[in-house]
Amino acid sequence: MKNILITGSGGQIGSELTLELRSRLGGSHVVASDKREITEGALFETGPVEVADVTNAKEIAGLVKKYNIDTIYHLAAVLSAVGEAKPQLAWDIGVNGLYNILEVAREQKCAVFFPSSIGAFGPSTPLDNTPQDTIQRPVSMYGVTKVSGEMLCDYYAQRFDVDARGVRFPGIISNGTLPGGGTTDYAVEIFYAAVKTKHFVCPLEAGTFLDMMYMPDAIKAAINVMEADPKKLKHRNAFNVTSMSFDPEILYAEIRKHIPDFKMEYQPDPVKMRIANSWPNKMDDSCAREEWGWNPEFDLDKMTRDMIQVIRKKFEMGLI
Ligand code: AKB
């Protein structure tokens, strides 16, 4: 990887991945692109920024040429809950956007990272120890775009030799850019509520188990799968990766170890519950561990300590 283009750089994962790659490769080698103009902050100050709409293939092709890009991290997406409100937009960005990226990658010989998700599974998938290769019949438009994306990446790899790789991310917990419109967002929002108001209204029911991961591990997964020795990869694309699985009660109890007067109540959101009930309780990520050494660092205890420490500091400094 010498020159990288990131789509969706302004998003939850994109903003942190861009900065990590810039710190490794040098700012000028990592181009941050987003549909919305980036005009300030760390992304703006540490390297090139561009406005790019992934549904506009010419725009993407122009950027790849301009910066002599050899690797594209394609993170632009519409998340699961928003995708149910705007299914046409979710398809357009999720599938047509990825198609454009893969076509540009084929023409200009780039590697591609594509983040699939636990959303690529559905109610007929085995939801405990969900295998790497299994039934995928999602019931959300987000899931439909992710399964289509996995298949498109496999097709471009086999047919056109595009080095398309990726993982199936669980819910990502972070303290930088907030997630926007996902089913797993509660696992981020709860920390801000615990620190700021000591009260949280949870949109998922008790007992709703989902896979989760702390951002530093998500960044590590995205970079390591792209740097893995291709000879050792049997799958290449859509690797199950996870670090922890919990339901809202377990997370609530963990946060109360640090903030004992924190209170949570439940007001389940029917759209999010329908989606969450169709997603795995816990994935089996042994293929990622065996094929490219996936090994997360943060469990529930370590992630919770770090999240509270960082968010408390931001709160005390008046930043949130
Ligand atoms: C969502 O909830 O939509 C995402 C995901 C798990 O892919 N965070």
Each residue's pLDDT tens digit, 287-318: 999 999 999 999 999 999 999 999 999 999 99
Say which of 67, 142, 214, 252 is annotated catalytic. Answer: 142
Segments forming the whole domain that contains residue 147:
4-170+215-240
Q: How far is CA 215 from CA 16, 153, 179, in A?
A: 8, 24, 11
C-alpha of residue 147 to centroid of ligand 1, in Å: 14
**CB under 8 Å to 307, separation ≥6 — which residues?**
173, 175, 191, 214
Where residue 97 falls (left for φ over 0; alpha for ψ -120 to 50; beta otherwise) is: alpha
**Position 233, amino acid:** L
Q: Are residues 115 and 160 both part of a single domain?
A: yes
Please give the pLDDT value at position 223.
Answer: 98
Q: What angle do CA 311, 7, 109 make, to 5 degrees?
A: 140
Q: Are residues 199 and 260 both part of a single domain?
A: yes
Overall residue count recorded for the chain in this entry: 320
Residues with a CB atom less than 6 Å from ligand 1: 79-80, 117-119, 142, 169-171, 179, 182-184
Q: Are residues 66 and 147 both part of a single domain?
A: yes
* Residue 288 in domain: no
Residues 124, 102: Cα–Cα separation, whole Å: 30
In the predicted model, is pLDDT for residue 1 greater than 80?
Answer: no
pTM: 0.96
Q: Are residues 45 and 67 both part of a single domain?
A: yes
Torsion on CA atoms 52, 54, 56, 57, rounded to nearest 10? 110
Both tokens assigned to 257: 């170890």
Q: How many domains does the chain have?
A: 2
The rounded Cα 255 to chain-centroid distance in angstroms is 23
CATH number at residue 199: 3.90.25
Q: Are residues 142 and 203 both part of a single domain?
A: no
Tens digits of residue pLDDT in 213-246 = 999 999 999 999 999 999 999 999 999 999 999 9
